[in-house]
């Protein structure tokens, strides 16, 4: 898996802020080697601004991946996987405020998305010099899940009525499908969002319609699968219980699960797998799970079953819907392919959201979108008991969060 030099540089900048020889310095020395995804969250990210001292562009990252491939390959070049996040739909993030993006459908955003964003990404990925790389595209986090559950939000209702997300996603799939080395994963939220039976059923039906409409023949196999838990904190597994009624009932010892029997990401993908096959998706359809912030280690991690669910759940959030720079969290399982022999449809653990990348600013005065369409969301504010304060805008490096994630890693960093 490709190690992003910009992530390494950010980790090194954090290393310079801690005491040499300290435990934090040792942790960062390990963490700087993690493979992470590259986020193309605006038009300018495609070209980057490396020549003027700014960020790398897409071709720059692919060139760096080729260099890593050559350095590791010797006489036979081993495959290298580069993961990119396609994230610039018009009216993006319609149910939140932290990262609404630069494009508006009211200002010709969908056409710009198609011609100046997707077309340009596809052109770069399709260049002959990159044919030996494996490119995993994580397509538009949080987009289509909003079309399943959040249509009561006026902005989402407008997006749905105008088919903005649907048409943009179908266009992206159709453009990437002919590229044989590009593997598409559609974002499908997480267990705390779509895990309820009715939400999951509606989601599977919606995604079937979405994917079938991307090609004239309705080919559901054009995608490799789905990405779950992107930029979220839901544990892979709650080791001391499952989703039985005595756990999820609102009349029990907790209100946390609210009758959602998908209490963790593994149970969620197990249920999704059955539903997707029944809906006609190909047997090879699988999942990648973002484990960059769902380890939940540290001294507060429960060690045994308990009478009260709140005393034995790994997920320590006050509410399962809290998503912004969550306190007391840690890095989870390290990125690797085929991590679970009992689940061949679990393709990989990955770090889609790089550890240390902020979810949104905690500055309540930042109510006007910046040049990247990012602003304050109350979920990131001091009124949210789970939100770590002192946070910069979404996507920017958050040193305090990075150290917290490393200190609370589970399994622990060695």
Q: Which residues contact 281 (CB under 8 A, 6 or more apart)?
A: 208, 211, 220, 221
**Residue of 42, 48, 286, 336 lying closest to 184 (CA atoms):** 286
- Structure token pair of residue 5: 């030099």
* Distance set, CA 63 to CA 80, 145, 176 (Å): 12, 33, 19
Tokens at 103, concatenated? 């494009």
Q: In whole angstroms, give the CA distance from residue 193 to residue 197.
A: 11
What is the biggest distance separating any 2 CA atoms in the chain, rounded to whole angstroms?
A: 63
Say if residue 399 is exposed, middle or buried (CB neighbours under 10 Å; 0-12, 13-18, 19+). Answer: middle
Contact 200, 271 (CB under 8 A): yes
Catalytic residue among 88, 93, 142, 315: 142
Whose structure tokens read 């080729």?
66
Task: Name the helix (H) or strand (E) containing 203.
Answer: helix 197-212
SS3 at position 399: helix
**Residue 57, phi then psi, degrees to nearest 5:** -95, 180
CB 330 within 8 A of CB 253: no
Catalytic annotation present for 142 = yes
Q: Treating both helix axes as pointing N-terminal to C-terminal, what angle do 5-15 and 399-407 enclose, rounded to 10 degrees?
A: 90
Do the Cβ atoms of 40 and 352 come closer than 8 Å? no
Active-site entry in 41, 88, 93, 359: 359
Q: Which positions are annotated as active-site residues?
A: 142, 359
């Amino acid at each position: 898996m490709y190690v992003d030099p910009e992530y390494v540089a950010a980790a090194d900048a954090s290393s310079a802020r801690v005491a040499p020889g300290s435990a934090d310095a040792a942790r960062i020395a390990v963490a700087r080697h993690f493979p992470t995804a590259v986020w193309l969250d605006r038009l300018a990210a495609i070209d980057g601004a490396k020549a003027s001292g700014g960020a790398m562009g897409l071709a720059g990252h692919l060139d760096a991946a080729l260099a890593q491939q050559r350095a590791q390959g010797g006489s036979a070049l081993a495959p290298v996987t580069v993961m990119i996040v396609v994230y610039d739909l018009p009216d993006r993030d319609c149910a939140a405020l932290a990262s609404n993006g630069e494009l508006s459908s009211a200002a010709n955003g969908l056409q710009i998305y198609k011609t100046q964003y997707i077309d340009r990404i596809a052109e770069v990925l399709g260049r002959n010099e990159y044919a030996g790389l494996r490119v995993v595209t994580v397509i538009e986090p949080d987009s289509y899940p909003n079309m399943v559950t959040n249509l009561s939000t006026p902005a989402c209702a407008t997006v749905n009525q105008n088919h903005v997300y649907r048409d943009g996603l179908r266009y992206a799939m159709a453009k990437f499908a002919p590229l044989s080395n590009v593997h598409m994963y559609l974002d499908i939220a997480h267990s705390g969002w779509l895990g309820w039976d009715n939400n999951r059923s509606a989601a599977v039906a919606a995604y079937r319609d979405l994917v079938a409409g991307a090609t004239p023949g309705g080919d559901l196999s054009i995608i490799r699968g789905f990405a779950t838990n992107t930029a979220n904190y839901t544990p892979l597994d709650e080791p001391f219980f499952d989703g039985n009624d005595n756990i999820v009932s609102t009349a029990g010892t907790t209100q946390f699960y609210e009758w959602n029997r998908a209490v963790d990401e593994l149970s969620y993908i197990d249920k999704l797998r059955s539903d997707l096959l029944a809906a006609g998706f190909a047997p090879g359809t699988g999942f990648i799970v973002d484990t960059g912030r769902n380890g939940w280690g540290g001294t507060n991690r429960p060690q045994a079953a308990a009478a009260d669910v709140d005393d034995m759940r790994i997920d320590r959030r006050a509410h399962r819907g809290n998503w912004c720079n969550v306190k007391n969290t840690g890095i989870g399982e390290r990125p690797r392919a085929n991590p679970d022999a009992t689940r061949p449809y679990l393709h990989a653990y990955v770090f889609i959201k790089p550890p240390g990348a902020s979810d949104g600013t905690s500055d309540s005065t930042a109510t006007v979108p910046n040049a990247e369409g990012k602003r304050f969301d109350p979920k990131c504010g001091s009124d949210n008991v789970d939100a770590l304060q002192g946070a910069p805008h979404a996507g920017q490096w958050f040193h305090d969060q990075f150290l917290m994630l490393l200190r609370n890693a589970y399994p622990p960093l060695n």
